[in-house]
Chains A and B, each alone.
Chain A
């Protein structure tokens, strides 16, 4: 496809008003559309060796012996290494954070030593000339195991009858109680107390591209270049440097195209650390690509929670208090470096989020089990907190015979109450719950839908409408990880360079995973400088060239990286005008940049094309005044500081039809109203919301990593682990309220996780609304046909 065949602007784009708020197609999509992207597994290197991992078949077992003689003589084998051999090159880690008081976890090695603690943990690395040869050899490894009792049930783990890590004393990784005080008194004076227990199945990200890493050690330089499917190149640079003993600046991490991440690819994985260590050991490039079974067995899982929640309400429908007790199981190790305490911690912080009650008690226990590890996956803790809050709110409304929309309107924090401190201690700068609720009800034609629902029930058609209001953490400050001692950057930077032809190169530390960060950075830079968007080239994902920064996670790319690009763009514009002022002999205040030209501000007449300015500045600076040096490369950084997080808010609704004979749920429609501050590209924002909603629907209806009582993963493939496919998904209506954050000049808040945060609650409430006339309800996700039929007492 030639250049002219692809659109530069979407229909209706107004370039004269800047690109902010315009649906500009992403320039970097073109290569992906032709299969000409560069994912890690697409790279070709001389002397490339392939590693596969021999993994524990047991959930908990001692490695009595590991015999590799036969395997070593298999064709193509370069070497086979156990945990001790790899540990000589890669130090172990302990995933704790200072601000999660009391969190504990044992040291974890890249390859297990002496004992495997979950089925799938790597116990040996097999390196060969081809992947097939490495897999052949791995099948020849002979091991003798002594099986140990596996703790797979989280209640049993909490009880502590069998302790997984003896040195830690018990199975509790982290525990926390937050209490405003006065909770018991609030419950005592309540007219109505409603209680429910919600269960959430553990599930995972299922990135279409498996985790991938190609590590290339240069023995002469003692330097390491890592091509990595990652969200956080600088974080990984620091970790490779410290654990492999290579100076920081000699480690370069490059993330080119990344085939989906959603939080899965922001953690330290033992097999990836081993791959880097093996490159050092073997002094040659080594590649590891997780296959689908390995992805299911070793990509972080998330969301295995059991929550008991109580709500205290007056008879007029005023919420007085929430009381919540969360138990979550995280596998045998807290995951490095973010820890596995954060998800539960978020549940404590966010429960009751949208409402104006004053009393709150949240209790959390995070326990170890002998299953795969869990950690932060898209919307971290939000789907749990939103579902338990919105589930119990619906139940309270039903008990009072109040309409759920009206009940929410009565209790949502007023739009003029900000800044506001929530009972959990988090602070909101400015939210818009009531505007969002009004817009949602209008978009979905709520009264008509309720009428239709009543009519259809007379025909034994069971439709349900579910609402889910929420708050969402975005743009995290150092309060998220940095204060706890993690070397994870909360600031990001952008470097902008005017090229001699008048093009602009943008280098930014936030990475691209398909969400469109490179596209919006081009829009922001073009608008800030005054050039057209096709003049901008964006480079991300390379610690060797970009400024230092955190990367992509916690809905921070647009809000933090985007602000850095904006500030750098304004600074570059200023420096360009300095050059123009000298070239034209006019005052800077008389000049402006528009449509790739220096123009006269008053007459709007073109004075100098940027290509000519670039030519003079770079090739004929001798024609500029002696005491003037042009600065056409600028760097700016941005850190959110004033608030711990820039909270956003939104509300979703789901319309479903439940087949009460089969238990199947048909999703008819979904609505999502979100306030993500300044919208840079409406098309990309809606895409983030829709993709997130569908991931949340997966959690609500299909997805669960099923384990046997012995800790065997039962459905580690895409035929048995169900994901949402296009045939079952509804059309999703998106709408927006725009309340820019005042913490930055761009005003953008995050949007990447909103869909996933709210959708499970909306679907759950819709199903329970449909089942209400039959006096049935479901409370354990995913809501499979079997669970729905059981709730209807049509299945044992």
Chain B
């Protein structure tokens, strides 16, 4: 239970080394050990998408991946992608269209949307709806989120 391992990974462009418990999830590691609280914990069983992160360029659920599995990986969170301005266009569109209310799902939603936008094709409205179908939002009813992503896609 108290089994611990040393890991080194790159988080938002900065190398970090820590001794972590083998059972610690990646999202808990980011929140508890690194203080990166932008990635949220919603269901802890991979359904809601609030903990969506990018690991080596691919979307992952931070609650379904262990911190030790991220050893040697490049991890990007909403904080890093905000500072690098990669999310800037989406954030502007989300803000203008009020594509968020409580904001708890928003970091995960932005990462999921950015994943779609960075693919080369131009997705349809229906494809946008399907792509973010793994990210639960209880507040907005999704329409403004779809509108905001569509605006960036057509940007």
Contact = CB atoms under 8 A, between A and B. Distances in A.
B100 A690 contact: no
Interface stretch (B3-11, B54-62, B65-73, B90-98): B90-98
Contact of A726 (B92, B101, B132): B132
Contacts of B47: 717-719
Given A29-B103, A719-B47, A687 B140 contact: yes
Given A513-B101, A513-B102, 5 more contacts: A33-B100, A260-B101, A292-B43, A691-B101, A725-B133
Interface residues of A, number: 62
For the complex of A and B, list the 4 residue pairs with the smallest distance between their C-beta atoms, beginning with the closest: A35-B38, A32-B103, A514-B101, A514-B102
Nearest to B24: A132
Given A514-B103, A691-B101, A718-B43, A729 B143 contact: yes
B114 interface: no
B98 A684 contact: yes
A606 interface: no
Interface stretch (A37-45, A87-95, A186-194, A403-411): A37-45
Given A6-B95, A25-B96, A260 B77 contact: no
Given A30-B95, A723-B136, A727-B133, A209 B79 contact: no
A167 interface: no
B101 A515 contact: yes
A181 interface: no
Contacts of A514: 100-103, 139
Interface of A: 1, 5-7, 10, 25-26, 29-37, 39, 41-42, 44, 75, 132, 136, 205-210, 257-262, 291-292, 513-516, 683-684, 687, 690-695, 717-719, 723-727, 729, 731-732, 755
B124 interface: no
Interface residues of B, number: 60
B105 to A, nearest CB: 5
Given A42-B37, A132-B23, A208-B102, A732 B82 contact: no
B123 interface: no
Contact of A694 (B42, B43, B142): B142
Q: Is chain A's binding surface mostly helix, strand, loop or mixed?
A: loop
A35 B39 CA distance: 7
Interface in B101-155: 101-107, 110, 128-130, 132-146
Interface of B: 1-2, 21, 23-24, 31, 35-45, 47-48, 50, 77-79, 82, 85, 88, 91-92, 94-98, 100-107, 110, 128-130, 132-146
A132 B32 CA distance: 12
Nearest to A695: B138
B98 A26 contact: yes
Contact of B77 (A5, A35, A209): A35
Contacts of B45: 292, 717-719
Contacts of A261: 102
Contact of A34 (B38, B97, B128, B133): B38
14 contacts: A1-B82, A29-B98, A33-B100, A44-B35, A208-B48, A209-B40, A260-B138, A687-B98, A687-B101, A725-B134, A726-B133, A726-B145, A726-B146, A729-B129
Contacts of A25: 95-96, 98
Contact of A33 (B31, B40, B106, B144): B106
Contact of B142 (A1, A36, A516, A729): A729
A670 B101 CA distance: 21
